Structure 1
Amino acid sequence: MTTANPDPEDLTARARIRDAALHHFGEHGFEGATTRAIAETAGVSPGLLRHHFGSKQALREACDAHLVKLITRINEQAHANTPADGVNHVAVSMATLGPYRRYLARALTEGRAEPVFDAMARMSEQWLGVLDETRSDPPFTDRKARATVGTAMALGVGILQEHISRALGVDASGEEGAHLLALTLLDLYSHPWISTEEAAAYRETLNGNRADGGATPPSAEEHSDE
């Protein structure tokens, strides 16, 4: 038995439905968005929406899968490029994910979009694995903890783009703004605000002030990811 090739128009309709869902979920949240309104925005019938996705939950999962695919592609490009290639990966990320900022902001603050956050955290762990090989001082916490918090911080830059643009006085999604943002992030990542000695002292204070008297947070040495 042979299976007919998918109708190209059906594939286009599926993408339109997904994009309409990303818009409605971003504007109204998962609970507030309706499949009828999503279908109307996509220019299809509710029946065709159900045919392609089955349910609103499955549609949300398709939205997350689409974003994971985009983020994975950006990450792979970053791995493939070197500084000599002259690629501004901040600009690439802003341009690619810019249309989905409202969806990400709404979904993440609702506790949704777990696959997107988890995929980004895994990618961060991979980057840290490379960086840890040349790190001279042992990390205070394990790689997963650092990747998780780092991912949240990175997402904040993209989601708060309007605030960043307002404070910087330049559109962070434009060429000039993306250049300034990339330089600023490069400076922040390459020049720590406190020395390793100061950080060690703060760590001693934090551990000494623990009210429960429990064990200190796991370090990378105690929980190696190798």
Structure 2
Amino acid sequence: MSSDSDLTARARIRDAAIALFTERGIAGATIRDIAQAAGVSSGLLRHHFGSKEGLRDACDEFAMGRIAQLQMAFTESATMGGALAPDAMALQQYLIRSLMDGSPRGAAMFEQAVLHGERWLASTDLQTSDARAFVAVLGALKMGMFLMRDQLSAALGEDVGEMPGYLRMIRASLEIFSQPLLTPEQADQALKALDRLDDSWTGDERSWQMSSMSKD
């Protein structure tokens, strides 16, 4: 994941941590294992990052920044070269694993992803009535592919966490996102139905249910 100019001890530790955190989970990767994988001492790791929590924060920051960089490059150039960069798959898998542990850091990282998404959305011509919901749901949909790695791999007959299964999964997602699944008429009807439900909601679940039933 490091470039030729980024092969410092700190970068090697970070890259080793991302790989082991992804493979074993945050709790399952020890400082000793990470240091050994990076070819450094545990003392040097602590010198650079202080603790495993500090190392994880650095990994989160690096992964989020790199993915945001690739997304912005895609937005600006409208080409998929950046999104399919060699480190993209590994960083995506790391971020999903980090989110899965349910810690406050994971929640904060998803919030940061939503903020990145809102900035990205503002730079596009996409239309939405609720920008935060748009980017949060989009992020959850994209992450779902990685959360369901085992199920997708079983359905496709190949590991989507490895090439070429990963490419097959991403190709399918591009085909899905590149064409509308609803006609304009269907989308309009669905949005109007949601508006009616929203209007019938009174804040009391029973009242909302009775109101909806009376309209049927």
TM-score normalised by structure 1 residue count: 0.69
Q: Distance in 2 between matches of 1:207 and 1:109?
A: 36
Decide whether the 8 Å contact of 1:20 with 1:41 is kept in 2.
Answer: yes
Structure 1 residue identity aligned to 2:191: A
After superposition, give the CA deviation of every residue in 1:161-218 in whole Å (9 maximum; x if it has no partner). 56445535673433x654343122212xx333742122321342355356626xx9xx
Give 2:89's match in structure 1, choosing from 98, 107, 116. Answer: 98
Find the aligned partners of 2:14 and 2:41 in 1 and give their Cα distance: 14
CA distance in 1, matches of 2:202, 2:134: 20
Deviation at 1:49, TM superposition (A): 0.5
Segments of structure 2 that go 5 or more residues without pairing to the other structure are: 159-163, 209-216
More RCO (CA 8 Å, sep 6+): 1
- Residues 64 and 113 of structure 1 are in contact (CA less than 8 Å); yes or no, is this contact kept in structure 2? no
Does the 8 A contact of 1:165 with 1:172 survive in 2?
yes
Once the two structures are superposed, what CA deviation does each residue of 1:124-160 show, in whole Å capped at 9, x if it has no partner? 22343355x674xx72xx3222222221112223444
Instruction: Name the CA shift for 1:130/1:39 in 2 (closer, same or farther; >3 Å).
Output: closer
Give percent identity, aligned residues only. Answer: 32
Instruction: Show the counterpart of 1:121.
Output: 114
* Matches of 1:31 and 1:64, distance apart in 2: 15
Relative to 1, partners in 2 of residues 1:93 and 1:156: Cα closer, same or farther, differing over 3 Å? farther
Question: 8 Å contact 1:88–1:182 — kept in the other structure?
Answer: no
Distance 2:202 2:25 in 1: 39
Q: 1:22 to 1:210 in 2, by over 3 A?
A: farther
User: Does the CA-based 8 Å contact 1:29-1:107 persist in structure 2?
Assistant: yes
Letter in 1 for 2:69: R
* Alpha-carbon distance, 1:93 to partner: 4.4
The aligned amino acid for 1:67 is: A
Q: Aligned partner of 1:19: which letter?
A: D
Q: 1:88-118 deviations in whole A, cap 9, x for unaligned? A: 36x8247433123543232111124445423
Equivalent residue, structure 1, for 2:22 = 26
* 1:200 counterpart SS class: helix
Gaps of 5+ in 1: 1-7, 217-226
Q: TM-score, normalised by structure 2?
A: 0.71
Q: Which moved more, 1:43-52 or 1:22-31?
A: 22-31
Equivalent residues in 2 for 1:195-214 (5 A)? 195-205=187-197, 208=200, 212=204
Shift in CA distance, 200/129, structure 1 to aligned 2, threshold 3 Å: farther
